[in-house]
Structure 1
Amino acid sequence: MKIHVTAIALASIAAPAFAQDGDAEAGESAFRQCKACHMIIDDAGETIVKGGQVGPNLYGLAGRTAGSVEDFNYSDLLAAAGEAGLEWDQESFAGYVQDPTPWLQEYTGEDGRGKMTFKLRKEEDAADIWAYLASVGPES
């Protein structure tokens, strides 16, 4: 009985990490943390969010292969993640933005450093930002 209670308790703690939801409106506000380095510009060249160019354009991130924005100079570690098959979804995005380099090292099994040094502090913000990016991205 004790094992079952422990398993249920652990599952309930882990469940939010895998939830496929978030608040796009809250994500738009939370994205302010991201726009110092990232912009969102659609395929027609229309600016959705004017931001920095240190990071790649985040338009169409959902389902995109990691390290695949043309003409962007990714770290070897992020490029390796893309070559290993990483396609961005809410779960991978949340893990990555909360601790980028260690997350990439674990995903690829390689040493190295990613270029993103920012760490998103709140897991809820990751879900909200993901929902926002999905809401302004191309229709599936």
Structure 2
Amino acid sequence: MRRLVATSIALGLAATLAACGKSSNQDQGAQTTEAVATAPSPEELKKIQASLPAPYNTADLTNGAASFALCASCHTITSGGPNLTGPHLHDVVGRKVGSVANYNYSEPMKTAGFTWDAARLDSWLTNPRVMMPATKMSFIGMKNPKDRADLIAYLMVNSAAKPQ
């Protein structure tokens, strides 16, 4: 399990660093690099995952990190990470939709009025345009339920993890 979490962190950090290069704001990129340097330890991430509800407490975080690579071209996940084409996703679980500062959301996202939880993330990841037809997000969705659960667990762990 320790190797699994360490691999997950490495994949997630690689995806985040790849996405950072897409930011036009050098200060935001510096913030992301700083956040990466102070990421929680594998042991802390393992404890966080163990505290999650089923099925997320036993999800494959390595697969979740690999799945997040699909998101990394538009989103960062590190604490203090910049907004790219999409808003940063650190702390997305438990966050009100459309609430990241300095991000220009589509009108449906601005007025959705709900908070992201596992069930809503699962629906969103299945097909964003079915959940919210007028969204500007171009992602076509993730059909495999296990991949979605692993990605949601990865988002949950990263939403709960606070930099050291």
CA apart distance, 1:41:
2.5
Report the TM-score when normalising by structure 2. Answer: 0.58
Q: Match of 1:114?
A: 135
CA distance in 1, matches of 2:123, 2:138: 14
CA distance in 2, matches of 1:52, 1:80: 20
Q: 1:124 to 1:100 in 2, by over 3 A?
A: same
Unaligned runs of 5+ in 1: 1-18, 106-112
Runs of 4+ in 1 over 6 A off after TM superposition: none
Q: Match of 1:5?
A: none
Q: Match of 1:75?
A: 106
Q: Which amino acid aligns with 1:78?
A: M
Q: How many residue pairs get matched?
A: 106
Is 1:89–2:117 an aligned residue pair? yes
Residues 1-140 of structure 1: matches in 2 within 5 Å? 20-21=55-56, 22-42=59-79, 45=80, 53-82=84-113, 86-105=114-133, 113-118=134-139, 119-139=141-161
When Rg is computed on C-alpha atoms for both structures, the one with the higher figure is: 1
CA distance in 1, matches of 2:137, 2:86: 8
RMSD of aligned alpha carbons: 2.2
Q: 1:76 to 1:52 in 2, by over 3 A?
A: closer
CA apart distance, 1:134:
1.4
Q: Which amino acid aligns with 2:105?
A: Y
**SS in structure 1 opposite 2:160?**
coil
CA apart distance, 1:24:
2.0
Report the TM-score when normalising by structure 1. Answer: 0.67
Identical pairs, percent: 32
